[in-house]
Structure 1
Amino acid sequence: MTAILDIELVRTFHAVARIGKFSAAAEQLHKSPAAVSVHIQRLEAVAGGRLLNRDNQSVSLTALGKRLLVSTTELLSTHDRVLADLHGTHLAGRITLGVPDEYAVHVIRDILPIFAAAWPNVVLELKTAPSDALRDLVQRGKLQAAVLAQPKGQPSAHVLVSTLPVWVGPIHTTVASMDPLPLAVHATQCPYRQAMIESLKQSGRRSRVVLESPSNQAIKACVEAGLAISLIDRAFVTANMQILDGLPVIPEHEIVFMRSLSSQDDEAVNLLAQAMQQHFRL
């Protein structure tokens, strides 16, 4: 009998791979952890091997899991576009969406075109700003939704992916040679700026601000040029940077999709949330 890929199993697998934890993926999918585990087991039976390495803290992809993730990404996108076509393009409306600078390129280039192709009559209006500023705008109803970074465990948002902030500096630089520490800091209302300042203050390390900018590209350029150190997502570390030891450990953060109270029953925002959950990557 020919094996068949169940789209629901594939969607569950993508959620676990993206978030890195069964419990958080189960919460996002509105399923029990046991149901998520069963889905993965059924998909592994079809795939012919283990897809995930699991421990008490997190999961990681096996070589087979990585292959399946890559090969089924377009499958999910095509599936959702076909459903949208079958249901017609009757959905219309306007969504005001906020995105921090760090994630704007990915959201605009890789996710919103998929959504716009499926729902061409939904108008998107975008705003970039630091995460805490976007949170405030959503809570006040000035934005319908936002992608933002926050310390792990805060309520009222759908987790897209977990991320580990790391200290970075230019290649061939040691922390011991820096006193005071030269910092490239993010704009006010960015949780990474707050984490940098507070952790250094608690550890008693002296510092000075070399650059303050809302631009993630400016922060990276300052670090790569050897002018400062900073705090960024581990996934954004470039070949011209190194992760620094000897500095305060920053707790894990989450990238989440947050929506206003008034948009909880908005069909267009529901569909955008689904697109974010399916396609957001670091």
Structure 2
Amino acid sequence: MQKAPAIESVESTETGPAAASASLDIVLLRTFLQVVDAGGFALAGEQLALTPSAVSGHIRRLEESAGARLLARTTRRLELTPAGETLYIYARNIVDLEREARARLHGHAMHGRLRVGASEDFAGTWLPRVLQTFRRWHPDAAIELKVGITADLLRQQGRGKLDVVFGKQCARISDDIGDEGELLWEEPLVWAYSAVSALEADAPVPLAVFPDPCVYRESALAALAASGRPWRIAFESGSMAGCVAAALAGFAVAPIARSQLRDGLRELGVADGLPELPDAQFYAFARKVAPAVTALVEAVRELGARNRFASVALR
């Protein structure tokens, strides 16, 4: 991935009774969320149509209102402080509630049925939390969900059977499915294995993968072939939960998006004799522009950004 530019230093703020009693401006909260979700001031500024210095000013004013430093800065990195982590949770709820209130007051709540297609990692990892938010915004909307392989879902969408598809591809796989989709976020694809098991150094890598066609499988096999590391298919399943279970048991190594790592799994890498994998790219493919589709895509984008960036050092 591209190396992010250095972030300008922002003066620290002082706490005190006056600062602690100040109100929290929702505009500043939105900027704060965007900085965290986008991973830095420059990207947040682009998405908010603000200059980096304006974004910096928003954060400074918010810290003055909060009476606490929210972002710890060095010349090249930006991290949430404990106070920043706390405010992030409250700010997300405040902004979501404000959006919900405006939708209700202006009659923008959605009705009808939305037909959604999603790859299994979307459906199993992100979609439940997305639907919680979407239901708050649009309690009268209904969703019909189809889970499957991205390429198959896009074919169904082409036949008019799905309104929106959430799917994936990998950066070094020559697949053009992203040409007509909207890139929501990207993150590293990693080798996941049991945290308590040792991988045999000289043996072929036992893999837990989806059946063909699968971009994670293709990326893993291409990387192993390029590195000359032998491999074997030890576990094959059409279920992401099945592949993760095989990795948790130490039965096989599973290529998964980094955000899907969980307790009991560890990430293997070059030190374990495994090659680097490409980035996993997550897309939304909308058949038509409709308010309900736009709202669902936005909910997915926000959640993906929070999972991707909030738990790591910001650029």
Q: TM-score when scaled to structure 2?
A: 0.74
The question of whether the paired residues in 2 share the 8 Å contact of 1:186 and 1:214 is answered with: yes
What is the deviation of 1:267?
1.5
The question of whether the paired residues in 2 share the 8 Å contact of 1:99 and 1:127 is answered with: yes
Distance 2:265 2:32 in 1: 32
Match in the other structure for 2:142: 123
The question of whether the paired residues in 2 share the 8 Å contact of 1:180 and 1:207 is answered with: yes
Number of equivalenced pairs:
276
Q: 1:191–1:209: structure 2 CA closer, same or farther, 3 Å change rule?
A: same
Structure 1 residue 185 corresponds to structure 2 residue 209: yes
Q: 1:253–1:107: structure 2 CA closer, same or farther, 3 Å change rule?
A: closer
The question of whether the paired residues in 2 share the 8 Å contact of 1:167 and 1:231 is answered with: yes
Q: 1:155–1:93: structure 2 CA closer, same or farther, 3 Å change rule?
A: same
Q: 1:91–1:185: structure 2 CA closer, same or farther, 3 Å change rule?
A: closer
What is the deviation of 1:49?
1.6
Letter in 2 for 1:247: L
Structure 1 residue 252 corresponds to structure 2 residue 276: no
The question of whether the paired residues in 2 share the 8 Å contact of 1:150 and 1:255 is answered with: yes
Distance 1:22 1:189 in 2: 38
Match in the other structure for 2:295: 271
What is the deviation of 1:95?
1.8
Structure 1 residue 76 corresponds to structure 2 residue 95: yes
Distance 1:89 1:185 in 2: 43
Deviation sequence 1:8-35 (CA, Å, 0-9, x none): 33233323323424455455x3524535
The question of whether the paired residues in 2 share the 8 Å contact of 1:24 and 1:159 is answered with: no
Match of 1:51 among 66, 71, 84: 71
The question of whether the paired residues in 2 share the 8 Å contact of 1:180 and 1:206 is answered with: yes
Structure 1 residue 92 corresponds to structure 2 residue 118: no
Match of 1:173 among 194, 198, 207: 198
The question of whether the paired residues in 1 share the 8 Å contact of 2:63 and 2:70 is answered with: yes
Match in the other structure for 1:238: 262
Letter in 2 for 1:93: G
Q: 1:59–1:214: structure 2 CA closer, same or farther, 3 Å change rule?
A: farther
Of 151-160 and 236-245, more deviation after overlay is shown by 151-160
Q: 1:23–1:124: structure 2 CA closer, same or farther, 3 Å change rule?
A: farther
The question of whether the paired residues in 2 share the 8 Å contact of 1:130 and 1:187 is answered with: no
Gaps of at least 5 residues in structure 1 are: none
For 2:117, what is the secondary structure of its paired residue?
Answer: strand
Distance 1:155 1:116 in 2: 30
User: Which of 1 and 2 has greater Rg?
Assistant: 2
Q: 1:166–1:107: structure 2 CA closer, same or farther, 3 Å change rule?
A: closer
Distance 1:157 1:39 in 2: 32
Distance 1:150 1:160 in 2: 12
What is the deviation of 1:89?
5.8
Q: 1:166–1:74: structure 2 CA closer, same or farther, 3 Å change rule?
A: same
Gaps of at least 5 residues in structure 2 are: 1-17, 173-177, 308-315
Distance 1:138 1:43 in 2: 44
The question of whether the paired residues in 2 share the 8 Å contact of 1:184 and 1:210 is answered with: yes
RMSD of aligned alpha carbons: 3.0
Distance 1:239 1:67 in 2: 23
Letter in 2 for 1:193: R
What is the deviation of 1:174?
2.8
For 2:201, what is the secondary structure of its paired residue?
Answer: helix
Q: Where in structure 2 are the equivalents of 1:98-247 lying within 5 Å?
A: 98-135=117-154, 137-138=156-157, 142-151=161-170, 157-170=181-194, 171-177=196-202, 179-245=203-269, 246-247=273-274
Q: 1:223–1:279: structure 2 CA closer, same or farther, 3 Å change rule?
A: closer
Identity of aligned residues (%): 30
The question of whether the paired residues in 1 share the 8 Å contact of 2:29 and 2:62 is answered with: yes
